[in-house]
Amino acid sequence: MTELELKYGCNPNQKPARIYINKGSLPIEVLNGKPGYINFLDAFNGWQLVKELKEATGMPAAASFKHVSPAGAAVGEPLDDILQQIFFVPSKDISPLACAYARARGADRMSSYGDWISLSDKCDLDTAKLIAAEVSDGVIAPDYDDDALALLKTKRKGTYNIVKIDKDYVPEEMEVKQVFGIYFEQARNNVKIDREMLKNIVTEQKELPESAVRDLIISLITLKYTQSNSVCYAFGGQAIGIGAGQQSRVHCTRLAGNKADNFFLRQHPKVLELPFLDDIARPNRDNAIDVYISADYEDVIGDDVWRNTFKVKPEPLTAEEKKAFLSKINGVSLGSDAFFPFSDNIERAAKSGVSYIAQPGGSIRDDLVIEACNKYGMVMAFTGVRLFHH
């Protein structure tokens, strides 16, 4: 048995704490810092997610995790001019892994604040430079280029958490956890998510373009490591809205849909042209954008706040302008970790430009859900596989 002592568990009062393995050696090496209990929960869930994304798509992948659910996940599709701007990336000419990280971190910047990063491939300098500019707790990857590691070791006054994982490590088939002194044991969820899972199309519309296949796979693999109930919207090679841990399916769909809407609204010309002060901190800028998009900012941000944020006070983004901008969005993919019990989920998804859906099926109201999809011309596949994660 090998073990690693931790500072404490989920909370400072939960001592002692450790991670350990009964057979062989721990598949990780801490290269810098001292990761904690929650850090490793995020790291191991995130590593599985990006490893599976890489295997399913053949592309480098990255994930941003907070409190054992992803805030973002993506593959290394190139960035266009607008994505470069809204992700605050200095250049589009960066490695595929850096593109994947920029997308994962940029999908929901508010939720990703102070995240844990997971990378499917060896961390290069391009990726390390992006990580160095953001607020995060740590990173896990199968390896690090020397210059990337040297840069990351300077982060957080030298205390940044950097973990290397054995990419060939395969866990035992059975997994065990303990709750209230009682042991739970189950077979690991080794279901393989790929295009074969999308063959059972139940709607009138049958055509799934390759971009939708990619995005539905991203959505489903993301859901496999998201606390249930969960729903994930994906577009352009990345998750753009994740609703996690909700007791009601439609609340997942609304929460994730609102995040997806914000992702697109950040590309509105008024948002792209917000006159921020040159020295504003990234978290303050991100918070101001979120407030500007999601609320009547004049009622939320006082005069003293906007003066410390903008060079001049910006014109509001009206409800009518938001509705008009979002009405042009289409081609979004949506995955659900369990069946949709009512068609209200489809009605909400339609408002966020969803054209493609993957869900297990099996509800007594499947016919009503299919009918709603047909009304909007959506393509829906029944995967037959539930993806609960707890």
Looking at the annotation, which residues are catalytic? 66-67, 229, 390
Cβ partners under 8 Å of residue 215, min gap 6: 234, 235, 236, 237, 332, 333, 356
The answer to whether the CB of 28 falls within 8 A of the CB of 39 is: no
Q: Which two tokens stand for residue 47?
A: 């590593």
Cis bond upstream, residue 229 (ω within 30): yes
Q: Which two tokens stand for residue 138?
A: 């740590």
Cα 132 to chain centroid, rounded: 19
The answer to whether the CB of 136 falls within 8 A of the CB of 63 is: no
- CA–CA distances in Å: residue 156 to residues 69, 91, 144, 250: 24, 24, 18, 40
The Cα–Cα gap between 78 and 92 comes to: 7
